[in-house]
Amino acid sequence: MKLPAEIFLAFRYLKPKRTFVSIITLLSVLGPTLGVAILLIVSSVMAGFDRDIREGIMSMQAHLTAYPILSESFNKPLEIVHQLEKYGLKSTPVIEGNALIQVRKQILPKVIRGIIPDLEKEVTSIQRNYFHPGHILKEGEVIIGARLAMMTGLQEGDEFLIHSPARLTRNIVWKENGGVEIKPTDELYLPEEVHVAGFYSMGVADYDDNVLIMHLDQAAELMGLDWGSATSIQIAVPNPMQMNELTQKLKREFPLCNFITWQEKNKLLFGTLQVEKNLMTFLMTFIVLVASFCIATTLITVVVQKTREIGVLKAVGMSGFAIARIFLLQGGIIGVLGTGFGVALGLGIMACRDRIAQLLSMIMGHEIFPAELYHLMKIPALTTPTDLLLIVSLSLGICILAALVPAIYAAALQPAKALQEDN
């Protein structure tokens, strides 16, 4: 209780004359509380989104992909795989292409991906996301994404058809004058009949909707390629964040290959993410600014209300600095309380974010976080200590800054004038 006058008064000014907590104090604490909570939620979701997207991408894509330069496929991809092994790099041949799948009468465009399961598990985590991890892919078997299964109603063991473009276009000949001719054929076109051997779930809607996984040889057949060939080679590197040097070296060693990193492959997505993040930060700054106006307004009101008291304080020998300290301290107290409550509120909302999203979806009558738009299955969240520290210090800093104007004004009041103020 025996505090120096400025600390003593800072606390007293936060309390009103009659009720326990002043409405003005409450409102001014609410400003930074909401600001900090929203900032925390947005930055956590953005960071979580970024992390989950990256993880999802990395689980399906290798860090580095080699494409053939001269032809559309590698004839002997395993030779390159062996050569890469000498550099200590794990790799696997892959065939990727587009196809139409037919489930009963429904026809859907999808991506097929042929893999060699034994090699693939060294490079991507596709197999870890199988529902039957030990399963060996045989001819006629396809693993589909969990979302595709839900949409089409396909279950394990169900059969469906794959129409491959290679087969569909086999009988078409482009003439030299630009015309098209259909080869007379006695062969009958038949789609490939396959059945569902299992499901996978990467947590990335793009993949879980679109990609069918099958054995490399099956894919070769569908794409009309020779057995043992591949459209690309997927390579895992030890440090995916720093692979420029390695990529340059591989480009020199394998002149017939074009190497593309995972960042390059997803440039558009990461670019979009970055733009979203920048935009959010920009908008969030205004929220914090508005919160700081809250505090500035409160303190200016207090200073104006207390003008005569400030005059008395000066008359009894309190220095301008000490008077400024009263209001800075008040801003500080509001800042600490607001930031503290804001952090608690933000973390609380993050903890039950999925339930809140469900509730909002119910109230608004449509899904507010559709997986198709956001790529991910649930609301991501990642609160890093750095982000938390940044938000807390930003909020406290702005609160103190907001208090600075009224504090300086109070310190600079002419005592004789202040004493004659009518209030």
The distance from CA 221 to its chain's CA centroid, rounded to whole angstroms, is 37
Query: Which class for 366: exposed (0-12), middle (13-18), buried (19 or more C-beta within 10 A)?
Result: exposed
23 contributes a contact to another protein by CB under 8 A: no
416 contributes a contact to another protein by CB under 8 A: yes
Question: Residue 100: which H helix or E strand, with range?
Answer: strand 90-103
117 contributes a contact to another protein by CB under 8 A: no
315 contributes a contact to another protein by CB under 8 A: yes
318 contributes a contact to another protein by CB under 8 A: yes
389 contributes a contact to another protein by CB under 8 A: no
Instruction: Pinpoint the alpha helices (H) of 96-201.
Output: 117-123, 146-152, 165-168
* Minimum separation from the CB atom of position 349 to another protein (A): 36
Tokens encoding 391: 């938000």
Give the Cα separation of 316 and 178 in Å (integer).
100
SS3 label, residue 229: coil
* Minimum separation from the CB atom of position 404 to another protein (A): 19
**Based on CB atoms, which residue is closest to another protein, 312 or 362?**
312
Tokens encoding 407: 């504090």
Give the Cα separation of 182 and 169 in Å (integer).
10
**Based on CB atoms, which residue is closest to another protein, 63 or 314?**
314
5 contributes a contact to another protein by CB under 8 A: yes
Identified binder of another protein from the candidate list 50, 348, 415, 423, rule CB under 8 A: 415
For residue 114, give the nearest of 102, 98, 100 by alpha carbon.
98
Q: Could you report how far apart the first and last alpha carbons of the chain are, in Å? A: 29
Give the Cα separation of 41 and 57 in Å (integer).
24
Residues 320-359 that bind another protein (CB under 8 A): 320-322
* Minimum separation from the CB atom of position 22 to another protein (A): 11
21 contributes a contact to another protein by CB under 8 A: no
Phi, psi dihedral angles at 58 (to 5 degrees): -70, -25
Identified binder of another protein from the candidate list 90, 314, 353, 375, rule CB under 8 A: 314
Judged by CB under 8 A, the stretch of 1-9, 53-61, 95-103, 370-378 that binds another protein is 1-9
* Minimum separation from the CB atom of position 329 to another protein (A): 13
Residues 63-92 that bind another protein (CB under 8 A): none
Residue 370 Rama label (left phi>0; alpha psi -120 to 50; beta)? beta
Q: Are 392 and 33 in contact (CB under 8 A)?
A: no
- What is the largest distance, in Å, between two alpha-carbon atoms of the chain? 111
363 contributes a contact to another protein by CB under 8 A: no
Residue with the two structure tokens 């107290």: 333
Judged by CB under 8 A, the stretch of 9-17, 31-39, 243-251, 342-350 that binds another protein is 9-17
Identified binder of another protein from the candidate list 319, 348, 370, 384, rule CB under 8 A: 319
15 contributes a contact to another protein by CB under 8 A: yes
Q: Are 416 and 315 in contact (CB under 8 A)?
A: no
Judged by CB under 8 A, the stretch of 209-217, 221-229, 305-313, 369-377 that binds another protein is 305-313
* Minimum separation from the CB atom of position 319 to another protein (A): 4
316 contributes a contact to another protein by CB under 8 A: yes
Identified binder of another protein from the candidate list 3, 27, 351, 352, rule CB under 8 A: 3
Total residues contacting another protein by CB under 8 A comes to 29
Partners of 160 in the β-ladder? 194
Judged by CB under 8 A, the stretch of 52-60, 304-312, 363-371, 386-394 that binds another protein is 304-312
Distances (CA, A) of 198 to 50, 222, 379: 28, 20, 26
Identified binder of another protein from the candidate list 308, 340, 344, 374, rule CB under 8 A: 308
Give the Cα separation of 235 and 66 in Å (integer).
8
Residue with the two structure tokens 């999808």: 110
Query: What are the residues binding another protein (CB under 8 A)?
Result: 2-5, 8-9, 12-13, 15, 17, 308-309, 311-322, 414-417, 419
